[in-house]
Structure 1
Amino acid sequence: MAAQQAMEGLRELAGAGLTAEKVFRRADELLRTLLEYDAVCWHSADPATGLVTSVLSDDLSLTGFETAVRLEVWADDVATFPAIRRSGVRAETLSRVTGGRLTDSVRFREMIGPAGFGDELRAVFDAHGGMWGCAAFMRAADRGPFLAQQRELADLAARHLGNALRACHVPPAGANGRRAAEPQDEGPAVVVLGPANRPLALSGPAEELLGRLADPSRTPLGVPTAFAVAAEQARRAARGLAVSQAKIRVQDGEGRWYVLHGSTLKGGSEGDVTVVAAPATPADAMPLYLSAYGLTAREQEVALLLVRGCDTRDVSRLLAMKPYTVQDHLKSVFAKAGVASRRELVARIMLGGGTA
């Protein structure tokens, strides 16, 4: 009964109009007793790549957070967030993956074990083709491993949290249905990070943007997690190692998307990286808005063709659909995006939540 009530509570978060931080805090209230964890670290993520973009934890000391960032990007470890996502499940434990040999995990040897914890349960929050966040739950070493039913419960909870976090990314509309005003004269923000991912230099717009993208929990880095991850990705690429993608997308509290791109400096100190953050172009932002509105893959295809100027006949031909099927998809798209016409839909997608 308690588990059923918790799942219902998590399901309701998708329609509660909460921020990601409030979703995480409410999820903690609902899950802590059921999963029996002693500490949790919540993360928002770039829905396109799954790369972590923020951190929230009231339980953990984040004094060594630069090590956590480095391990996430560099370590060839087991039960990583990307590995869990690829596996087809939403939640996994270190004890199950390692057969009880927790020291097979790099992050257990370097961080989890030394902090006094034993087993770790990780979950990824996917919905509508995007990974909107993830979490790592830990329990004290003397409490034994997470139980199978707790992993299964976390898997179910992750589905609801994916939908709740997706809903958080639907951009708010300002007065009269128009999106809140953009910052004036906003250009790219440039941050130079040292080897430990602490800022060495900032461009004019960077300080204000860093404040808007700040993590819910304070870390010693001095920059949001997304900037540190972008820097580590750039260092990997400079070594000729594979990276999931060179750029990272992150949304501010007013629904604006930014694209972060890191690059190593030639002629500078070893390990220094420049991270440039620029407002997302329509090409970068449109797929994110469509996913945030909860459109299915087919509905997204229809919506994108409409943005390109196609009419019902064009969409029917290009997607090999019957015209009435296209109309059914359009009705669903309009309902999910909160619009009443194609013109409004195009404006909402292009303006990131506003209407013309």
Structure 2
Amino acid sequence: MSVDSVQRATEKVARLCTQPRDLVTLWNEVTEVVGSVVPFFQTPCWYTVDPASLLMTSHFHVGLPEFSGEWLAAEYYEDDAQSVPDVIRSSTGISTLHEATDGDPSSSPRWRRNMSMGGDQELIARLRTRTGEVWGALGLYRDADKPMFTELEKSFIAAVAPSLADGARRALLFGQAAEPEYVDSPGLLVLNENWDIESATPGVAHWLAELPDGNWDRGELPSAVTTLAGRTLRSAEDRSRPGDVAVSRIRSRSGRWLVLHGACLTSTGQRRIAVIIEPAHPSRINPLLMSAYGLTEREKDVTRLVLQGASTTQISTDLVVSVHTVQQHLKSIFDKTGVRSRRDLVGRIFFNHYEPRFRDNEKRVLANKAVRGGPWTAD
């Protein structure tokens, strides 16, 4: 494939990822583009993860509506040359199973599972935004008689990964806005080119009332929304920057920070502007850890870093405490959560608080409902 063709595919992925749409539609559309550059066996496996914990919240694989419980346990408990969580936490964010096993994957339980499905090679890539938030991962496979993944192919995947991460995040926001799950779920507002309101999700009125100088009851939009809408249209007209999305951060009337995302919709032939409004820091893992296990603030910080793959030394540096203090915190965390190791801690939190979300999302995909992110918090 020519360099120009790869560049066009990269730009197409970026454009697709700017559109607010449901996650399954996004994965299906970008799969075709990815496959034009990186041929694969059957179909990719797409994952979303919670950026606060780096734990998986969903998977999508055409023909595999339910991820095997044995395979899921292997991702978090099995000692193997490669796993999705390990690649997500790695320094490179991309790995092939053949490289991870020095060209001999036959001793890998993961390889044997892949072979049972007809796949021989496996490439896993982390989907991380340019600002450092991880929102997903991608798994690609090839059968035994196909060439190895090339450096050009891996470079392409690395180049589109930030766009795919942004697209996953936007799709999860879109899903939460369309079917709010929390009091502070995002809101979605769709405007036409004259700034008239075409549609609004149930939660958007709450957020618009929080923004300065607007009056939702009279249909008057806050200046933050109209300004963002104008920037969104200008960004859409700039073909030299296909993946650009207008974003602004606004202090609300109550003092909390809100983030506004703008995207231009063109599916109907007429340009419309979608504006998603969300709280600046909607992470739910920290309060979950406090309520479920009674962790102190410092133990919560240590646990968060363990989930993200930090070593004892890295935790010590990040929290500006001694290695001995980190070890004492870890002992207390293990006692409170009933585990004996870091791996067990990650597994305990995943299977107690994220597998229910993972399984619920499988059902939501089959029912054509929006995929949701974050830990499971339903009663």
- Find 1:3's aligned residue among 6, 16, 28: 6
What SS class does the counterpart of residue 69 from structure 1 fall into?
Answer: helix
Structure 1 equivalent of residue 325 of structure 2: none
Residues 1:37 and 2:40 are matched in the alignment = yes
Structure 1 equivalent of residue 61 of structure 2: 57
1:238 positional shift: 4.7
1:14 positional shift: 3.2
- Identity level (%): 21
What is the CA–CA distance in structure 1 between the aligned matches of 2:117 and 2:133, rounded to whole Å?
32
What is the CA–CA distance in structure 2 between the aligned matches of 1:107 and 1:181, rounded to whole Å?
48
What is the CA–CA distance in structure 2 between the aligned matches of 1:51 and 1:13, rounded to whole Å?
25
Aligned AA (2:340): G
Matches within 5 A, 1:235-314: 238-242=338-342, 243-244=345-346, 246=349, 248=353, 259-260=375-376, 277=378
1:25 positional shift: 0.8
1:51 positional shift: 1.6
Distance 1:255 1:181, change over 3 A: farther
Aligned AA (1:277): A
1:7 positional shift: 0.6
Aligned AA (1:121): L
CA contact (8 A) 1:119 1:141 kept: yes
Structure 2 equivalent of residue 70 of structure 1: 73
Residues 1:173 and 2:202 are matched in the alignment = no
What SS class does the counterpart of residue 59 from structure 2 fall into?
Answer: coil
Residues 1:20 and 2:4 are matched in the alignment = no
Give the unaligned 5+ runs of structure 2. 174-185, 190-198, 207-306, 308-333
Matches within 5 A, 1:185-264: 238-242=338-342, 243-244=345-346, 246=349, 248=353, 259-260=375-376
Matches within 5 A, 1:80-119: 80-109=83-112, 111-119=113-121
1:257 positional shift: 6.5
1:84 positional shift: 2.0
Aligned AA (2:378): A
What is the CA–CA distance in structure 2 between the aligned matches of 1:181 and 1:67, rounded to whole Å?
44
When the two structures are superposed, what TM-score results if normalisation uses the length of structure 2? 0.48
What is the CA–CA distance in structure 2 between the aligned matches of 1:168 and 1:256, rounded to whole Å?
9
What is the CA–CA distance in structure 2 between the aligned matches of 1:256 and 1:32, rounded to whole Å?
26
Distance 1:160 1:173, change over 3 A: closer
CA contact (8 A) 2:23 2:371 kept: no
What is the CA–CA distance in structure 2 between the aligned matches of 1:256 and 1:43, rounded to whole Å?
12
What is the CA–CA distance in structure 1 between the aligned matches of 2:91 and 2:36, rounded to whole Å?
26
1:16 positional shift: 0.9
Distance 1:158 1:99, change over 3 A: same
1:8 positional shift: 0.4
What is the CA–CA distance in structure 2 between the aligned matches of 1:154 and 1:117, rounded to whole Å?
19
Residues 1:145 and 2:145 are matched in the alignment = no
What is the CA–CA distance in structure 1 between the aligned matches of 2:26 and 2:94, rounded to whole Å?
18
What is the CA–CA distance in structure 2 between the aligned matches of 1:259 and 1:33, rounded to whole Å?
34
When the two structures are superposed, what TM-score results if normalisation uses the length of structure 1? 0.51
What is the CA–CA distance in structure 1 between the aligned matches of 2:205 and 2:57, rounded to whole Å?
24
Distance 1:102 1:14, change over 3 A: same
What is the CA–CA distance in structure 2 between the aligned matches of 1:146 and 1:12, rounded to whole Å?
25
CA contact (8 A) 1:118 1:145 kept: no
Structure 2 equivalent of residue 126 of structure 1: 128
Structure 2 equivalent of residue 48 of structure 1: 52
Question: Between Structure 1 and Structure 2, how many residues are aligned?
Answer: 209
What is the CA–CA distance in structure 2 between the aligned matches of 1:181 and 1:80, rounded to whole Å?
42
What is the CA–CA distance in structure 1 between the aligned matches of 2:71 and 2:65, rounded to whole Å?
9
Distance 1:255 1:43, change over 3 A: closer
Aligned AA (2:203): R
RMSD: 3.3
Aligned AA (1:132): W
What SS class does the counterpart of residue 117 from structure 1 fall into?
Answer: coil
1:62 positional shift: 5.5
1:41 positional shift: 1.1
Aligned AA (1:107): R
What SS class does the counterpart of residue 137 from structure 2 fall into?
Answer: strand
Structure 1 equivalent of residue 327 of structure 2: none
CA contact (8 A) 2:50 2:375 kept: no
CA contact (8 A) 1:43 1:135 kept: yes
Distance 1:160 1:138, change over 3 A: same
Higher RCO structure, 1 or 2 (CA under 8 Å, sep 6+): 2
